[in-house]
Amino acid sequence: MPSLRVALYQGPSGIPESTADSLAALAAAARRAAGSGARLLLTGELYLTGYALGEDVHRRAESASGPGAEAVARIAAETGIAIGYGYPERSGTALYNSVQLIGPAGERLANYRKTHLFGPFETACFTPGDDLVVQADLDGVRLGLLICYDVEFPEAVRAHALAGTELLLAPTALMRPYEIVPRTIIPARAWESQLYLAYANRCGAEGEFDFAGMSCLAAPDGTVRARAGAAEELILADVDTDFLKASRAENSYLADRRPRLYTSLV
């Protein structure tokens, strides 16, 4: 039996008129996901507001316990499904590109701030987070959180593997022409660090950006268990911790590491 059924929501495309529009789409996706047996729904990066906001991101940002979080908690409790969603987080005078994980009873499980910022928009608007490994447990599965560009650094994913993460959640805003990331890098990261990796991308055009879609769930054997196309889509796949244990026993990357040889890298 699968340990956890996961739904990835790729959409809707474009910048929402308001957070209320994002929340309405999220509620509909959560109902569909829960109806298909999913216990966890993951959205794309900066889901609540859209990505290509420029300086307007400051106006739309909110705290980790703000009205957006309260609304997502209600959706999670009503549907009985955990929800990981991307949003711009305001904390004091700082702004973070964050993902928050809400449990199936509406409880806050974890909040992660993107540690590797990408491009001039992010570096100008956001402060990088300092905590690389943020985890939570759901139905006996150890979850970890990263965001988009973070997973393109093998060190970040390996840190999660060494900390016991079994399913790594990565809300994403990957634009064209970088389709090599979901096509090649994400399965490779799952294989080399022996974990499941859920990669939920945005889709469609926003300002100067054309998001690639191609959301996927990659397994520790390097296969892709579900893959979205380029448009709005909800995909589902199963995470099996027994399969993960067997894969780690067969693929000994983690056990065969020689950390003393790598100290010069840091």
Q: Which helix (H) or strand (E) holds 162?
A: helix 154-162
Q: Which of the residues 122, 125, 148, 152 is marked catalytic?
A: 148
Tokens (6 digits) for 188: 């490779």
Range of the domain at 259: 4-265
CATH of residue 214's domain is 3.60.110.10
The pTM of the full predicted model, rounded to 2 decimals, is: 0.97
The whole-number pLDDT of residue 210 equals 97
45 classed as catalytic: yes
Low-confidence ranges of the chain (pLDDT < 50): none
| Cβ pair 141, 239 in contact under 8 A | yes
Q: Which of the residues 45, 89, 166, 232 is marked catalytic?
A: 45
216 classed as catalytic: no
Domain count, the chain: 1
Q: Which helix (H) or strand (E) holds 226?
A: strand 224-227
The whole-number pLDDT of residue 3 equals 87
114 classed as catalytic: yes
